[in-house]
Copies of this chain bind each other. A is one copy, B any other.
Amino acid sequence: MRATLMHKAHDVRIENVPDAAIKQPTDALIRVTRACICGSDLWPYNDQPETPGGRPMGHEAIGIVEEVGGDVQRIKRGQVVIMPFAYSDGSCMFCEEGLQTACVHGGFFGSPDVGGAQAEALRIPQADGTLYPIEADAEDALMPSLLTLSDVMGTGHHAAVTARVRPGGTVAVVGDGAVGICGVIAARRLGAEQIIIMGRHPDRIALAKEFGATDVVSERGEEAIARVRELTGGFGVQSVLECVGSAEAMETSLGIVRPGGAIGRVGLPHYAAIPGAEQTFFGNIIIAGGPAPARAYIPELLADVMEGRLDPGRVFDRTVDLDGVPDGYRAMNDREALKVLIRP
List of B residues within 8 angstroms of A281 by Cβ: 265, 268-269, 289-291
A276 within 8 A of B: yes
A320 within 8 A of B: no
A257-284 vs B, Cβ < 8 Å mask (1 yes, 0 no): 0011000010011011111111011111
List of B residues within 8 angstroms of A293 by Cβ: 284
A94 within 8 A of B: yes
Q: How far is the CA of A223 from the CA of B149 in the complex (A)?
A: 42
Q: How far is the CA of A287 from the CA of B275 in the complex (A)?
A: 13
Taking the closest CB of chain B, its distance from the CB of A301, in whole angstroms, is 18
- The reply to whether B99 and A260 contact each other, CB–CB distance below 8 Å, is yes
A288 within 8 A of B: yes
Q: How far is the CA of A260 from the CA of B102 in the complex (A)?
A: 8
Residue of B nearest to A259 (CB): B102
Q: How far is the CA of A286 from the CA of B163 in the complex (A)?
A: 10
Taking the closest CB of chain B, its distance from the CB of A187, in whole angstroms, is 19
Candidates B259, B287, B291; contact of A99 at CB < 8 Å: B259
List of B residues within 8 angstroms of A102 by Cβ: 259-260, 283-284
- The reply to whether A101 and B284 contact each other, CB–CB distance below 8 Å, is yes
Residue of B nearest to A101 (CB): B284
List of B residues within 8 angstroms of A288 by Cβ: 284-288
Q: What is the oligomeric copy number?
A: 2
Given known pairs A94-B259, A259-B94, A260-B94, the reply for A284 and B289 (CB within 8 Å) is yes
Candidates B260, B275, B284, B286; contact of A286 at CB < 8 Å: B286
List of B residues within 8 angstroms of A277 by Cβ: 250, 269, 271-274
Taking the closest CB of chain B, its distance from the CB of A288, in whole angstroms, is 4
List of B residues within 8 angstroms of A304 by Cβ: none
Q: How far is the CA of A254 from the CA of B274 in the complex (A)?
A: 13
List of B residues within 8 angstroms of A290 by Cβ: 280-285
Q: How far is the CA of A287 from the CA of B280 in the complex (A)?
A: 10
A97 within 8 A of B: yes
List of B residues within 8 angstroms of A276 by Cβ: 273
- The reply to whether A97 and B282 contact each other, CB–CB distance below 8 Å, is no
Taking the closest CB of chain B, its distance from the CB of A341, in whole angstroms, is 27
Q: How far is the CA of A286 from the CA of B265 in the complex (A)?
A: 10
Taking the closest CB of chain B, its distance from the CB of A95, in whole angstroms, is 11
List of B residues within 8 angstroms of A287 by Cβ: 274, 280, 286-288
Candidates B269, B275, B285; contact of A278 at CB < 8 Å: B269
Question: Most B CB atoms within 10 A — which of A94, A265, A278, A284?
Answer: A284
12 contacts between A and B (CB under 8 A): A94-B260, A97-B260, A162-B284, A271-B277, A273-B273, A273-B277, A274-B287, A280-B287, A281-B289, A282-B290, A284-B289, A288-B288
Interface residues of A (CB under 8 A from B): 94, 97, 99, 101-102, 162, 250, 259-260, 265, 268-269, 271-278, 280-291, 293
The 5 closest A-B pairs by CB, nearest first: A284-B290, A102-B259, A273-B273, A274-B274, A99-B260
**Other than the known A268-B281, A269-B278, what 8 A-B pairs have Cβ atoms closer than 8 Å?**
A97-B260, A101-B282, A162-B284, A250-B277, A274-B287, A281-B289, A281-B290, A288-B288
